[in-house]
A and B are shown apart, each in its own frame.
Chain A
């Protein structure tokens, strides 16, 4: 039984570009949450999707957007990339209201 899978594992972009990160939840899970983890920091909550709708959002600008598909997979999109967007982006899945299971993340580097 595959756990939470994220792609790609690493990504290098330049300032001003746009990026899409993908997440496949653990089998049976219907809720996906996204976190940003800067180097040496704890993860910061970006947003959460359930039933294809954004249910909660953390303190992130509108440059960060997402989507959830009918098969529960999810995407995180970031526009107009800044150097400060360099981080490990973690996806977590769960059944609604239950403990989250984390993927290994996508390492995004902005040059």
Chain B
């Protein structure tokens, strides 16, 4: 059974700081790993998706890496802004047989202060 853990649970940083969010998963047999953003009381917005054959993906100030062998992924946010304040969730997708099932971590709640 896949288990996904995110550290830290909460993080507060001043504006402009670079930061790293961590995600670990117990079963390395994944199809892909996805990072989401969730604003309070809202749904999930996909940020980056890394296929199992890839090592990293980049979008603007965001960079996600994947190390399947060690069961780890990181989300790097450069030059953080107050608008980045949200909860960040990672989710691992299982291989065929578990189809599109996503297993989520509990998230990291990020606050970027002025």
Stretch of B13-21, B53-61, B69-77, B94-102 on the interface side: B94-102
Interface string of B43-75 (1 = CB under 8 A from A): 111100100000000000000000000000000
Q: Is the CB of B44 within 8 A of A45?
A: no
Question: Which residues of B in the span 89-111 have a Cβ within 8 Å of any Cβ on A?
Answer: 89, 91, 98-107
- Docked CA distance A37–B41 (Å): 11
Q: Cβ of B24 < 8 Å from any Cβ of A? A: no
Question: What are the residues of chain A within 8 A of B80 when measuring CB–CB?
Answer: none
A42 and B43 contact, Cβ closer than 8 Å, known pairs A48-B99, A56-B99: no
A-B CB pair tally, cutoff 8 Å: 61
Query: Closest CB of chain A to B1's CB: distance in Å?
Result: 9
Given contacts A33-B102, A42-B91, A100-B102, 10 further A-B contacts (CB under 8 A): A33-B100, A35-B104, A42-B107, A45-B103, A90-B44, A102-B36, A104-B43, A105-B42, A105-B43, A107-B41
* Residue positions of B touching A, CB distance < 8 A: 4, 32, 34, 36, 41-46, 49, 89, 91, 98-107
Q: Is the CB of B102 within 8 A of A45?
A: yes
How many residues of A are counted as interface, with CB atoms below 8 angstroms from the partner's CB atoms? 29
Query: Closest CB of chain A to B62's CB: distance in Å?
Result: 16
Q: Is the CB of A104 within 8 A of B42?
A: yes
- Docked CA distance A107–B106 (Å): 18
Question: What are the residues of chain A within 8 A of B41 when measuring CB–CB?
Answer: 88, 107
User: Which chain A residue shows the least CB distance to B41?
Assistant: A107
